[in-house]
A and B are shown apart, each in its own frame.
Chain A
Amino acid sequence: MSLENKKTNQGSSTELLRFTTAGSVDDGKSTLIGRLLYDSKSIFQDQYEQIEKISEKRGEEGVNLALLTDGLKAEREQGITIDVAYRYFSTPKRKFIIADTPGHIQYTRNMVTGASTANVALLLVDARNGVIEQTKRHAIVASLLQIPHIVVCINKMDLVDYSEEVYNRIHDEFEAFATKLDVKDVSFIPISALKGDNVVDRSTAMPWYEGTTLMYYLENVHISSDHNFIDCRFPVQYVVRPYNDEFHDYRGYAGRVAGGVFKKGDEVTVLPSGFTSKISKIDSFDGEQDAAFPPQSVTLLLEDDIDISRGDMIVRTNNKPEVEQDLEVMLCWFDHSKPLQPRGKYIIRHTSQEAKCMIKEIRYKLDINSLHRITEDFEIKSNDIARVVIRTTKPLFFDSYRKNRNTGSIILVDEGSNNTVAAGMIK
């Protein structure tokens, strides 16, 4: 057996697209995911036979594709989804990661979780019910989490006779509502997940619809500019020190590029110290590289010997983030056991930094069905969203979430339970 490593250049050129799905309980979300998996031939024979057996046992008509996404025992027993589940499929063009999140009101936190890394959000609307409160709530979450692309899937078109009128009405209703939101790119697709119309294959029942199928959309939506390539941000994650003769003076700063494009020779400033230096090398196991950009994990070496540790941030000297101890944050509260404590102290995590913090002020609670700002009730319970001011014990180096999801996001950890109790987007 030989352990020789020889590099070849073969590989794939497929992009990775992450999307999240949201809909209320009976919107057919699981069926849609099952349909995408089934029609893209990502379902294996043994999986299919298993759900075929279960469907039969339950006395269901045909094979229930929704069963493909039910994971845990309690979920199958109750026919609901409890937690975020991740699904995978690929086509020759792209690899897809689905964050499948439940639609119940009490699970806003799961939707926020699934949305945090998504390029695309699929919002399911039941064609018979039109835009309902849950649709609005999901759209608001998608907007707060700045998911770059939103697709409104108007589902169950087979139950409204594939009516163009129904489609147009829901389309207009959603669009009217979306003008209040901060969303950039919204598309509408009439589908039937159950029958397969416009999911992977074009529907013959809706000749009036001239757009693409959902799969075509997912394969072709332009996502390469979803990252920030302008503002150079490199949170130092880990310091690499080999301590051996060959690399005696090696001091590498390992991390994942959070924004911008770093190049060898770039003049950089290290925060919080403010020392400046130049990038002498961008290193990796595969050798030196000319540039580093999101979401690459690399190791930076600097010309000067500066004291740098985890939590520091390397930025371009002429383009610095904000350095502050007071943050304006839109916070989604997760903790079931206790509400947000005004003046409460928590641990805040931001990029590779960790600090203590205090909730200095609650500005308002957001009604996530209407976007109305509530200022008479400051009890922030699980799944509530609120605008707060957070004071940290040391300065954080951040950008607004709108500008950069990596440097504009935080989580709060309870010091007693160690649980992640909130997630926030910096204004």
Chain B
Amino acid sequence: MSNYHIDHLRELESESIFILREVAAQFENPVILFSGGKDSILMTYLAVKAFYPAKVPFPLLHVDTGHNFPETLKFRDDLVEKYGLKLKVGYVQDAIDKGFVTEEKGVNSSRNGLQIYTLLDELEKGKYDAAMGGGRRDEEKARAKERFFSHRDEFGQWDPKNQRPELWNLFNGRKHMGEHFRVFPISNWTELDVWQYLAMENVPLPNLYFAHKRNVLERDGVLLADCDYIPKKPNEEVKEQLVRCRTIGDMTCTGVWESSASTVEDIIEEIATTRMTERGGRSDDKRSETAMEDRKKQGYF
């Protein structure tokens, strides 16, 4: 009977599709949190697979910091159009204008942390009871303890010490009024799995992931893309380099890497031999040893 066996990418795919269908079955109003990065692109692609030939039964929600790479927005809109998806956008700028949040000051200021407010606000306004994120357990030590179905209290907070146990294929999405769930369908994928799968399936990706020439500046050992949102220190020098993004987030905190990888195959080769984690270039994680855990407890992605 051993002819019936599937490789690890197909097994991960099958697991994620199972989770996505479980969300559709157990929740009334789920939403996909879409950042424009490869993980949320993968999750969206898997959702298309899970419900084929029907359309994906939930919308995408994008929290727009106003500091996106322009390429991200174009890609997002094309993707939505291609698969006939519904898109909702929440703007951090609105929250700033209304005075609900205050913009950080100084050279290292970022709107990354401000997203939490807009995210929770949008979830409440849309009455979403399950928000699916592209978080992976291999990304960061706090995420290693995350469940597939992660319960959030009425304030959207995560209590890592009191999580529901998850066994076999049995997922418990029951909740009280006002509470919601974060669901992570690609929990078990690693960065390399994601790339191998995207290559195998030939899934289109934003050009930002591939090597391109860009004006960059170096700060605290991280290369940042030069843009109007990053105030420069007096002695910082902007120079053009061949770089690519390993993660895509807000321009102010997404580091770019010196790289000449111009195809998915090059990227896989690069990741397989690299000695730095992908979030090593994320200045938002470098703020303290428990930066991710602290943000997650408050309701971060």
Known contacts A44-B280, A229-B1; decide if A1 and B207 are in contact (CB<8 Å).
yes
Mask of A106-121 contacts with B, CB within 8 angstroms, 1/0: 0001101100110000
Question: Does A349 contact B172, Cβ atoms closer than 8 Å?
Answer: yes
CB-based contact A11/B11 at 8 Å? no
Decide yes or no: A295 and B290 within 8 Å by CB, A82-B161, A84-B145, A229-B4 being known contacts: no
Quick one: given A72-B160, A83-B163, A411-B167, are A237 and B202 in contact (CB under 8 Å)? Answer: no
Q: CA A10 – CA B74 in complex, angstroms?
A: 29
CB–CB B17/A297 < 8 A:
yes
Is the CB–CB distance between B21 and A254 below 8 Å? yes
Evaluate whether A15 and B5 lie within 8 angstroms (CB atoms) in the complex, with A7-B202, A83-B161, A88-B190 already known: yes
Contact flags A388-423 to B (C-beta < 8 A → 1, else 0): 000000000000000001100111010000111001
Contact check, A72 vs B280: say whether CB atoms are below 8 A apart: no
Q: Determine whether A194 belongs to the interface, using a CB cutoff of 8 Å to chain B.
A: no
B53 touches A240 (CB 8 A): yes
Cα(A407)–Cα(B258), bound, Å? 50
* A113→B166 contact, CB < 8 A: yes
Q: Say whether B69 faces chain A, with CB atoms less than 8 Å apart.
A: no
Q: Could you say which residues of chain B place their CB within 8 Å of the CB of A4?
A: 204
Contact of B144 among A15, A87, A224, A238 (CB under 8 A): A87
A13 interface residue (CB < 8 Å to B): yes
Q: Total interface residues on A, using CB and 8 Å?
A: 88
Indicate whether B12 reaches chain A with its CB closer than 8 angstroms: yes
Residues of A close to B277: CB separation below 8 A: 44, 46-47
A305: Cβ under 8 A from any B Cβ: no
CB pair B190–A71 under 8 Å, yes or no, is no
Contact B144 A71 (CB under 8 A): yes
Contact yes or no, B165 A109, CB < 8 A: yes
Cα of A258 to Cα of B14 in the assembled complex, Å:
12
B169: chain A residues at CB < 8 Å are: 256, 258, 351, 406
Which residue of B5, B55, B204 contacts A3 across the interface (Cβ within 8 Å)?
Answer: B204
Verify if B98 is at the interface (C-beta below 8 Å from A).
no
Of the candidate stretches A22-30, A90-98, A210-218, the one touching chain B is A90-98
Q: Contacts of B9 on A, CB cut-off 8 Å?
A: 11-12
Closest 6 CB pairs of A and B: A16-B8, A45-B275, A285-B49, A116-B167, A242-B54, A285-B52
Q: Which residues of B contact A (CB under 8 A)?
A: 1-2, 4-15, 17-18, 21-22, 24-25, 48-55, 74-75, 78-79, 82, 137-138, 141-142, 144-145, 160-161, 163-170, 172, 174-176, 187-188, 190, 192-193, 196, 199-204, 206-207, 274-277, 280, 289-290, 293
